[in-house]
Amino acid sequence: MTDTSTQLREPWANFSRQQEAGKFGIWVFLASEVLFFGALMLTYTVCRIEHTEAFAAAGRETNIWYGTANTAILLTSSLTMAMAAQAAAAPERFRRLVLGCLLTTAALGLAFLVVKGFEYKEDIDKHLVPGSHFALPQAGAQLFYGLYWLITGVHAVHLSIGIVLVSRLILLGYLRKIELRENPEVEVTALYWHLVDIVWIFLYPLIYLPGRAS
């Protein structure tokens, strides 16, 4: 077992209670995040019901290869994040494995943002920003792209926060300022990262798949 006394924080009397509280706290936070993104997806759903054809036409204009590549990148980052969290929680010493998986996770997160940047550039070049020079004639298509920029933008902010949190663990763990083994901060960061992945799992069929069969 790790000496957990250095990781024990106030107001908890023992480390296992602290671990439980940390895990419960992040799950409550994630539930609030589900409501936040849920409200945005509900707005999308209502607009899509009202403008079915326009949403199909707008969906066809998205770049499915960027979207699919980014989904694969985030799913892979969830694999490395899960490995980091499980290796950190294991009784054996897996310090190098934990650090390697955290580093890969952060790199995949950055790769997602780079691909998204290329995609945003292409969207701007194709005049897919709502406004007077918008490329598509349907009014509903402007609603689709208004929601596209809003939701993917908010998601990118969440992912950027995740990259900062993972990078912090890598830096402090590498410098041995914190003990990664059995550290609740690793589990809490991993749970946040997975939620950001789950949000994208639902955004993928909503943004990139509409209108492909018609």
- Kindly state whether residue 1 participates in binding another protein, applying the rule CB under 8 A: no
Is residue 199 a contact partner of residue 70, using CB atoms and an 8 Å limit? Answer: no
- Distance in angstroms (rounded) separating the CA atoms of residues 185 and 114: 27
Stretch that binds another protein, among 68-76, 105-113, 121-129, 159-167 (CB under 8 A): 68-76
- Kindly state whether residue 94 participates in binding another protein, applying the rule CB under 8 A: yes
Segments of 28-120 assigned E as strands: none
- Distance in angstroms (rounded) separating the CA atoms of residues 90 and 124: 47
Q: Which of residues 8, 53, 68, 161 is near another protein by CB under 8 A?
A: 68
Question: Is the peptide bond preceding residue 210 cis, with omega within 30 degrees of 0?
Answer: no
Chain-centre distance of CA 103, in angstroms? Answer: 16
Residue 117: exposure state from Cβ atoms within 10 A (0-12, 13-18, ≥19): exposed
- Kindly state whether residue 31 participates in binding another protein, applying the rule CB under 8 A: yes
Looking only at residues 173 through 212 of this chain, which bind another protein when binding is defined by CB under 8 A? 190-191, 194, 197-198, 201-202, 204-206, 209-210, 212
Instruction: Note the residues at the interface with another protein (CB under 8 A).
Output: 20, 23-24, 27-28, 30-35, 38-39, 42, 45-46, 49-50, 64, 68, 71-72, 75-76, 78-79, 81-83, 86-87, 89-92, 94, 97, 190-191, 194, 197-198, 201-202, 204-206, 209-210, 212-214
